[in-house]
Chains A and B, each alone.
Chain A
Amino acid sequence: MANLLEERMQQSFINHVDENLLMDCMRCGFCLPACPTYLITDQDEVHSPRGRIALMKAVRDGEVKWDGSVEEAFDVCLGCRACEPACPAGVQYGTLLEETRYAVQQAKPIGLSEKLTRKVAFDGLFANQQIMQGTVKLIQFYQTTGIQKVARKIGFMELFPKTLRDMEKVLPKITSKKQSSSPSNPKIKVAFFTGCLMDTMFQQTNQRTIELLESLGAEVVVPKGQACCGALHGHSGEIPKAKRNALQNIEAFQHTDYSYIVQNAGGCGAFLSEYGKLLATDEAKRFSEKLIDISSLLVQLGLTDKMARHQVPVEGIVTYQDSCHLRNVNKVWLEPRALLQASPGWEFKEMPNASGCCGSAGIYNILQPEIASQLLEQKMKGVRTVRPARIVTTNPGCLLQMKVGIEREGLTDEMEAVHIVDFVYESIFQTTKGV
């Protein structure tokens, strides 16, 4: 039996994992100090990018037979891609990981609980905006009726793994949608990719994204028929589903004459920016080229300069947690910091290892709760050294994870985790009454 699986696995790796990409790795080890899982496991080479690439190649070449230990090496990878900017040889680790996970999916009947999680999350929640909104309605109902309190008391949530329970505590209060107004003489026209999670759990943030852009003279259109970006599918080896979503989005954004497609979630943004690579079509490339993240666009529209003109006394410290993918894939880290530095009423302080993954990594904190917890613990140690009143992030996953971190460390009285849009919005409209 085992041998059959071993053979199937090797064949699947031969079919799906690109040998040339594997060969790009010269095993220099320069990526090791950048890899959070290598560092948190006391420098275990198995949990390093170089080790994982070597294992991919060894499985493909038949030098190592598939077993649980090999599988674990791939499962423990965060997919944060911090190894890519550190690599002198330009190894496309993200692509290799996706190919590997796809190869594994093809060859192996996956574990039951994992399958369930996947099923609920992918086939149900993320595939369909309507269902997603339905789920949110349920959560909303749960929150507003007060059942939440009762459930917490009687320990209903104890039935779920600890991570899920902590997640549940920090789910944002959901409000309903508002209508917005376009500027009469727009400087620029942009299309807004709303993102499934952002559009449901973080509706207010999306609303404010639009308002901020409009107040800076941009016309914002929200094309209909958008789907989830497909990142979670892609990262878990569900490549065909990711492609399906990509096609739907490209279609949705095809017909308008806007300068940019703007998004406010780092993880989605990175995946959207790689549609060109994923589908290798001209339309996909055009879509990816138009993409911009909200921080960069706000800076480009002059928000930092405008904010800098409002001098008010400093009331608190703000720090920034990089979104791995915004930083490592889209190479954006200066703009969010520039916005925070310019925000009236705040002093920006860099925390140690702000670029290191917080352990959220999509649904990683659900699939690998132990390592995710260790990473978060380490992250919160860094947070404590700057003692901020706000931790700002640019991605919903990181945002929830930082909220969990604050909750776990008992710091809820001292600090709050917020999305950069909400932070900027509040610091403008609450301290200076607009720009």
Chain B
Amino acid sequence: MEWLQELQGIVGEPNVKTSRAQLAAYSYDATAGFQSAPDAVVSPASTEEIAEIMKLCGRFKKPLVPRGSGTNLAAGTVPTQGGIVLLFNRMNKILELDMANLCVTVQPGVITADLATFVESNGLFYPPDPSSMKISTIGGNVSENSGGLRGLKYGVTKDYVMALTAVLPNGQTIQTGGKLAKDVAGYDLKSLLVGAEGTLGVVTEITLKLIPLPRTQKTGIAYFTSLEAAGATVSEIIAAKIIPATLEFMDRGTMDAVEQFMNLGLPEDAEAMLLMEQDGDEDAVERDVNQMIALARANGATLTAVARSTEEAQRLKAGRRAALSALSRKRPTTILEDATVPRSELAKMVRAIEQIAKRNQVEIHTFGHAGDGNLHPTCLTDSRDLEEMARVEQAFAEIFEAAIDLGGTITGEHGVGEMKSPYLEWKIGPQGIELMKVLKQAIDPDNICNPGKLFAKSTKPRVVLHYG
């Protein structure tokens, strides 16, 4: 196998994996129901080596699948067409902290939480905090344009990417952006690469914007006997010109699961919970949290609390943190989605999800980031039961349709990958797909970079929703 020898020549033999166990171990990611083994797994050490690998893939027409920690939920790193899985475990260094320009330059394999801890120890703050940050990589975050709990106030990954180095499918390396607050020289290629899910090239170096670390933080919680009351509270908080650092939501089913799992003593009659957090200067934080709680009360919250200490805050947050754990224990397969709507439509969307679940006789509970309308309808099922899985698929199709109907999107932060590619056209239309195809064709004519992702063989026929 000529390509394999060449590959070993580029990175050195120990950095190419081909054993049965190794190929199997890189055949999946966090997405249920997708698995396919690559031909080889390679760990380069530099941008230059990646450029060589890219050229090799071009010559041998081998698919190249960049992979961070494989935590994405859209089958984005499953090598469904075989080929070479590209790892960043040897490119995981923090290269430079620039205090004068408030930015940090890293290799793609750096773990998000490690970066956050590092900059915080220097009094700075990198806000994007996906729940998976203890293991996700910056390269993965950039390529998925990941969000997190703080999205409403601080934005998502793309808002922090200042510069990128990337190897393009033709083997050339580009640098785009810079340590600049303003830069309008040419097309914004940097933004094109952010969220490209590895389909336009390989990101090999990233410069991220940092901001000063907020001084304090405060947490409050409110329980409601109706979804609509919680939804109204969210709208009124924003209308009152408060932008909370986090504003998290759990529905009844999620709370039941949490209660079963942890016995926290959550109120039994609650239909919805909002967890609110503000950070910043002490006075402002105090004022905002008190006002949010007052708004919750005015909207009929039956129980509210404000944490007086960090420990108390941890206790208040325990339920929301355990949401996924608690749900995932109920059935063998857990499917986590992230349909997103304008925040004003939160209550309507949660109701729609409830009805869709009922109609299709599947178990779906919803939690998520209420402040930015990013919901996580979580389906509990069993992938071995094909008949049930068909109903699950139908339910999700209806959920996507409902989200789009309400002015939302099929995915707020998890990405399209292979899993949601058949639905992409629903959101961006045939013109959108057409333009994306033109771009992809121009940049990657041989379809080397992560083939099969974003672009579906065929679009799913749209479903018709009957409300009520």
In the complex, what distance in Å separates the CA atom of A30 from the CA atom of B29? 12
A407 to chain B, nearest CB (A): 31
Given contacts A33-B135, A69-B20, A90-B325, contact A27 B30 (CB under 8 A): yes
Which residue from B19, B21, B134, B382 sits with its C-beta under 8 Å from A30?
A: B134
Do A58 and B24 touch (CB < 8 A)? Answer: yes
1/0 contact string of B4-30 vs chain A (CB within 8 Å): 000000000000010111101111111
A48 to chain B, nearest CB (A): 8
Given contacts A30-B135, A45-B26, A54-B28, contact A23 B332 (CB under 8 A): yes
Residue of B at shortest CB range from A30? B135
Which residue from A26, A30, A33, A65 sits with its C-beta under 8 Å from B111?
A: A33
A89 to chain B, nearest CB (A): 4
Q: How many residues does chain A have at the interface if contact means C-beta atoms less than 8 Å apart?
A: 31
Which residue from B17, B22, B29, B43 sits with its C-beta under 8 Å from A27?
A: B29
Do B90 and A42 touch (CB < 8 A)? Answer: yes
In the complex, what distance in Å separates the CA atom of A70 from the CA atom of B87? 20
Do A29 and B25 touch (CB < 8 A)? Answer: no
Inside 8 A of A46's CB, which chain B residues have their CB?
17, 19, 21-22, 25
1/0 contact string of A54-68 vs chain B (CB within 8 Å): 110010000111010
In the complex, what distance in Å separates the CA atom of A29 from the CA atom of B70? 8
Interface: A134 (CB within 8 A): no
In the complex, what distance in Å separates the CA atom of A23 from the CA atom of B71? 17
Inside 8 A of A63's CB, which chain B residues have their CB?
24, 35
Secondary structure call for the A interface? loop
Interface: A305 (CB within 8 A): no
Interface: B254 (CB within 8 A): no
Interface: B324 (CB within 8 A): yes
Interface: A72 (CB within 8 A): yes
Given contacts A27-B29, A46-B25, A55-B25, contact A65 B324 (CB under 8 A): no
Given contacts A29-B135, A51-B25, contact A45 B111 (CB under 8 A): no
Residue of A at shortest CB range from B88? A43
Residue of A at shortest CB range from B19? A69
Do A70 and B20 touch (CB < 8 A)? Answer: yes
Interface: A32 (CB within 8 A): yes
Residue of A at shortest CB range from B333? A23
Interface: A88 (CB within 8 A): yes
1/0 contact string of A15-47 vs chain B (CB within 8 Å): 000001001101111101100000000111110
Which residue from A23, A24, A28, A90 sits with its C-beta under 8 Å from B30?
A: A28
Inside 8 A of A20's CB, which chain B residues have their CB?
332
A10 to chain B, nearest CB (A): 13
Inside 8 A of A69's CB, which chain B residues have their CB?
19-22
Do A42 and B70 touch (CB < 8 A)? Answer: no
In the complex, what distance in Å separates the CA atom of A26 from the CA atom of B29? 9
Do A89 and B328 touch (CB < 8 A)? Answer: yes
Which residue from A32, A44, A54 sits with its C-beta under 8 Å from B24?
A: A54
Inside 8 A of B25's CB, which chain A residues have their CB?
44-46, 48, 51, 54-55, 73
Which residue from A23, A29, A70, A89 sits with its C-beta under 8 Å from B132?
A: A29
Tell me the residues in window 72-110 of chain A with beta carbons closer than 8 Å to chain B beta carbons. Answer: 72-73, 88-90
Which residue from B21, B87, B90, B135 sits with its C-beta under 8 Å from A55?
A: B21
Residue of B at shortest CB range from A27? B30
Do A89 and B90 touch (CB < 8 A)? Answer: no
Do A70 and B21 touch (CB < 8 A)? Answer: yes
Interface: B69 (CB within 8 A): yes
Interface: B334 (CB within 8 A): yes
Given contacts A88-B324, A88-B325, contact A64 B135 (CB under 8 A): no
Do B24 and A42 touch (CB < 8 A)? Answer: no
Given contacts A33-B111, A89-B329, A90-B329, contact A28 B20 (CB under 8 A): no
In the complex, what distance in Å separates the CA atom of A21 from the CA atom of B382? 13
Inside 8 A of B132's CB, which chain A residues have their CB?
28-30
Inside 8 A of B328's CB, which chain A residues have their CB?
24, 26, 88-90
Given contacts A27-B29, A33-B111, contact A89 B325 (CB under 8 A): yes
A31 to chain B, nearest CB (A): 9
Inside 8 A of B87's CB, which chain A residues have their CB?
43
In the complex, what distance in Å separates the CA atom of A32 from the CA atom of B69? 9
In the complex, what distance in Å separates the CA atom of A24 from the CA atom of B333? 7
In the complex, what distance in Å separates the CA atom of A29 from the CA atom of B131? 12
Do A42 and B30 touch (CB < 8 A)? Answer: no
Inside 8 A of B332's CB, which chain A residues have their CB?
20, 23-24
Inside 8 A of B246's CB, which chain A residues have their CB?
none
A162 to chain B, nearest CB (A): 23
Residue of A at shortest CB range from B29? A27
1/0 contact string of B304-329 vs chain A (CB within 8 Å): 00000000000000000010110011
In the complex, what distance in Å separates the CA atom of A48 from the CA atom of B113? 19
Tell me the residues in window 163-192 of chain B with beta carbons closer than 8 Å to chain A beta carbons. Answer: none
Inside 8 A of A26's CB, which chain B residues have their CB?
30, 32, 328, 333-334
Interface: B89 (CB within 8 A): yes
Inside 8 A of B70's CB, which chain A residues have their CB?
27, 29, 45
A57 to chain B, nearest CB (A): 10
Inside 8 A of B383's CB, which chain A residues have their CB?
23
B338 to chain A, nearest CB (A): 14
A58 to chain B, nearest CB (A): 5
Tell me the residues in window 169-190 of chain A with beta carbons closer than 8 Å to chain B beta carbons. Answer: none
Inside 8 A of B24's CB, which chain A residues have their CB?
54-55, 58, 63-64, 70
B32 to chain A, nearest CB (A): 7
Residue of A at shortest CB range from B334? A26
Inside 8 A of A89's CB, which chain B residues have their CB?
325, 328-329, 334
Which residue from B21, B27, B322 sits with its C-beta under 8 Å from A73?
A: B21
Inside 8 A of A58's CB, which chain B residues have their CB?
24
B67 to chain A, nearest CB (A): 9
In the complex, what distance in Å separates the CA atom of A58 from the CA atom of B113? 31
1/0 contact string of B111-153 vs chain A (CB within 8 Å): 1010000000000000000001011000000000000000000
In the complex, what distance in Å separates the CA atom of A88 from the CA atom of B378? 14
Q: List 18 A-B contacts (CB under 8 A).
A: A23-B333, A23-B383, A29-B71, A30-B134, A32-B135, A42-B43, A45-B25, A45-B26, A46-B17, A48-B25, A55-B24, A67-B19, A67-B21, A69-B22, A72-B21, A73-B21, A88-B322, A89-B328
Binding site for B on A (CB under 8 A): 20, 23-24, 26-30, 32-33, 42-46, 48, 51, 54-55, 58, 63-65, 67, 69-70, 72-73, 88-90
